[in-house]
């Protein structure tokens, strides 16, 4: 059969259409994105990721998302966005109200401040519902499972129906310092570190609080580093803290100091406390070095501004407030990564806080 002849004009039209389609495919990947910041330093719509990042990095509870059009981004910021066909389904297995949510802010309300929340994002509702149902089968025990994070979380531990454990079997741990002078730093000997003592488990009412603090910075010292804060009062203790570091400077030293600050914020003003830290820098800042820094208008011996002055001042002010009430605040240095249970737990909380913050940043990129 003879092939139909195609006129030169039609050939040209087909060629033009093919070229147009190819061009459209090439451009599709470079289409602009609009970054909507619903909760951040300055909510609004931003044309590039770096401007958006400035508003959300280190901002506690930041809510943000990218969109292909300015109209969709505006709707997200104003709260009028439609979720008829959500891109993700957020399954909350352990939280205030377990279930499936079609937007992250709604899911976040169920997990923020909840002790050991468990949640995950899925591409389909069926997968999300299956994840939630799996949690119901194991009941309350799900709260003891490690957190699975695909989205941002402020994981400062909150109230929980299960009370803190009171007793634990014996394990290698650091005990309270022997001396009772307020504010003094005590260093563990190798013998003390190796001694078999009770693992820290929370509280004997009215006695000395034992609080373990740590900080972690993923990529410390490098551009794009993300830090986390860990405070450990005891297993399943509702006061435990695991959260991302607030602020633009995501350094390990700031995370370590912030952990101490958070511990003193949570500890009752009239309750004696021993704070265990593996950061010599942090302990010296708030027990020794600050004395001369304050006399010298917060300048170092080299006449340079003191690093992390804001945190040091806040911690010292809290310690002095406690001292006026006759409350002791003792700092004890621990060797890091030496298998001390309290230090290990605080480190895990800090690392998890950093990972949660890092996951949130990646989610929005």
DSSP state of 231: E
Q: Which residues contact 343 (CB under 8 A, 6 or more apart)?
A: 174, 212, 214, 276, 278, 334, 336, 337
The reported pLDDT for the residue numbered 184 is: 42
Domains of the chain: 34-78 (3.40.970.10), 89-144 (3.40.970.10), 170-355 (3.30.420.10)
**What pLDDT score was predicted for residue 170?**
34
CA distance 146 to 349: 11
Query: For the chain, which ranges sit under pLDDT 70?
Result: 1-31, 80-87, 113-115, 136-206, 365
Closest by CA position to 61, among listed 362, 360, 365, 354:
360
Place of tokens 């993700």: 88
Q: Among 242, 211, 267, 258, which residue's Cα sits nearest to residue 116? A: 242
Q: Is 202 left (phi over 0), alpha (psi -120 to 50) or beta?
A: left
> Smallest Cα–Cα separation from 318: which of 309, 329, 307, 308?
329
Tell me, what's the pLDDT at 144?
Answer: 32
């Amino acid at each position: 059969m003879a092939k139909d002849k195609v006129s030169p004009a039609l050939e040209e039209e087909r060629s033009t259409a093919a070229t147009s389609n190819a061009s459209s495919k090439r451009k599709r990947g470079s289409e602009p994105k609009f970054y909507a910041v619903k909760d951040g330093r300055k909510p609004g719509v931003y044309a590039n990721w770096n401007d958006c990042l400035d508003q959300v990095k280190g901002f506690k509870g930041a809510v943000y998302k990218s969109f292909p059009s300015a109209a969709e981004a505006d709707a997200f910021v104003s709260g009028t966005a439609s979720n008829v066909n959500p891109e993700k389904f957020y399954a909350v297995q352990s939280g205030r109200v377990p279930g499936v949510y079609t937007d992250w802010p709604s899911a976040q309300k169920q997990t923020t401040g909840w002790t050991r929340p468990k949640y995950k994002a899925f591409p389909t509702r069926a997968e999300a519902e299956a994840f939630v149902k799996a949690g119901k089968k194991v009941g309350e025990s799900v709260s003891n499972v490690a957190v699975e994070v695909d989205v941002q979380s402020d994981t400062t531990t909150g109230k929980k129906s299960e009370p803190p454990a009171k007793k634990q079997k014996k394990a290698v741990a650091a005990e309270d310092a022997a001396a009772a002078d307020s504010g003094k730093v005590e260093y563990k000997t190798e013998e003390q570190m190796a001694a078999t003592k009770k693992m820290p488990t929370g509280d004997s009412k009215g006695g000395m609080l034992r609080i373990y603090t740590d900080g972690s910075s993923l990529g410390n010292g490098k551009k794009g580093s993300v830090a986390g804060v860990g405070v450990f009062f005891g297993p399943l203790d509702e006061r435990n803290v695991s959260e991302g570091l607030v602020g633009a400077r995501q350094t390990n030293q700031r995370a370590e100091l912030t952990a101490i600050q958070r511990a003193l914020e949570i500890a009752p003003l009239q309750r004696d406390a021993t704070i265990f830290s593996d950061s010599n820098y942090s302990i010296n800042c708030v027990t020794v070095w600050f004395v001369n820094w304050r006399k010298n208008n917060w300048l170092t011996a080299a006449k340079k501004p003191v690093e992390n002055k804001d945190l040091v001042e806040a911690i010292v002010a809290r310690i002095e407030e406690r001292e006026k009430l006759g409350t002791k605040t003792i700092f004890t240095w621990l060797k890091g990564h030496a298998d001390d249970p309290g230090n290990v737990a605080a480190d895990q909380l800090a690392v998890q806080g950093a990972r949660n913050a890092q996951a949130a940043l990646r989610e929005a990129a």
